[in-house]
Amino acid sequence: MNKVITVSRQFGSGGREFGIKLAGALGIPFYDKDLISMAAQNSNLSEDFMRNYEESAPGIFSRTLYSYYQMPMTDQIYIAQSNLIRQLAERGACVLVGRCSDAIVEDSIKIYVHAPIDFRIRRKLTMNTGVSPEKMEAHIRATDKKRKKYYEYYTDKKWGMAENHDLCMDSSLVGIDGCVETALAYIKNLKG
């Protein structure tokens, strides 16, 4: 396996867990949230600041304020993470989750994991997230909206569209392990 695999996902669909298991099955490195600390080390931005603002598109206020003086911080974070993602891809096969990695590493195997909202709510409620059951749906929808805005701002592509990915899977139908098995079969049968 010598290809980079990029994973995009709806919040709560299990895309991160899928990426971890896929990387383990293939014996290749996995990168997700650790990209933040790695990018912070390679830039002059603090890790706490990057965690707070990563995967956020600039707002109108930041665009007008910074356009005269300097690049918006969200753009600086995106550039730092993009540079790191390219460096990791150049090193060799790995699994990268989120952060527009599918658009940054254009020749990657692009996988999208999704699931119906009810499944995602139930799945997130089994985790210790600190979000109450009454607010979980709103939290999931807000996170997806933020990811969509970020992805579309930095890639000029529509988030979650099948034509942007090589393989799309509904984790509610086959579970995370079934998604891993499907992805492994897909990768095995790729030509070239």
Q: Where are the domains of the chain?
A: 5-185
Q: What would the mean pLDDT of 155-174 be, rounded to a whole number? A: 96
The pTM (predicted TM-score) of the whole model is 0.86
**Whose CA is closest to 98, among 3, 34, 170, 21?**
34
Instruction: List Cβ neighbours of 85 (8 Å cut-off, separation of 6 or more).
Output: 31, 35, 96, 99, 101, 104, 105
The beta strand positions in 57-99, using DSSP E, are 95-97
Cα 79 to Cα 77: distance, rounded to the nearest angstrom: 5
Considering Cα of 45, then 47, then 50, then 55, what sign does the dihedral take? positive
DSSP symbols for 140-186 = HHHHHHHHHHHHHHHHSS-TT-GGG-SEEEEHHHHHHHHHHHHHHHH
pLDDT of 37 > 80? The answer is no
Q: Which fold has domain 5-185?
A: Rossmann fold (3.40.50)
pLDDT top residue among 186 and 66: 186
CB 113 within 8 A of CB 6: no
Q: Is 100 exposed, middle or buried (0-12, 13-18, 19+ CB in 10 A)?
A: buried
Q: How confident is the model at residue 134 (pLDDT cuts 50, 70, 90)?
A: very high
Q: How confident is the model at residue 76 (pLDDT cuts 50, 70, 90)?
A: confident
Helix, strand or coil, per DSSP, at residue 116: coil
